[in-house]
Amino acid sequence: MGRIKTSFIKHIARELFEKNPNSFSTSFEDNKKVVEQQADIKSKRIRNIVSGYITTLKKKEELK
Under DSSP, the state recorded for 22 is G
* DSSP-derived 3-state class of residue 21: helix
pLDDT tens column, 11-64: 999 999 999 999 999 999 999 999 999 999 999 999 999 999 999 999 999 998
Q: pTM of the prediction?
A: 0.91
Domain boundaries, the chain: 7-63
CATH architecture of 7-63: Orthogonal Bundle (1.10)
Helix (H) or strand (E) holding 42: none
**Looking at beta carbons, which pairs linking 35-40 to residues 24 or more positions away fall under 8 Å?**
39/12
Distance in angstroms (rounded) separating the CA atoms of residues 27 and 11: 20
Q: Where are the alpha helices (DSSP H) in the chain?
A: 7-19, 28-38, 44-63
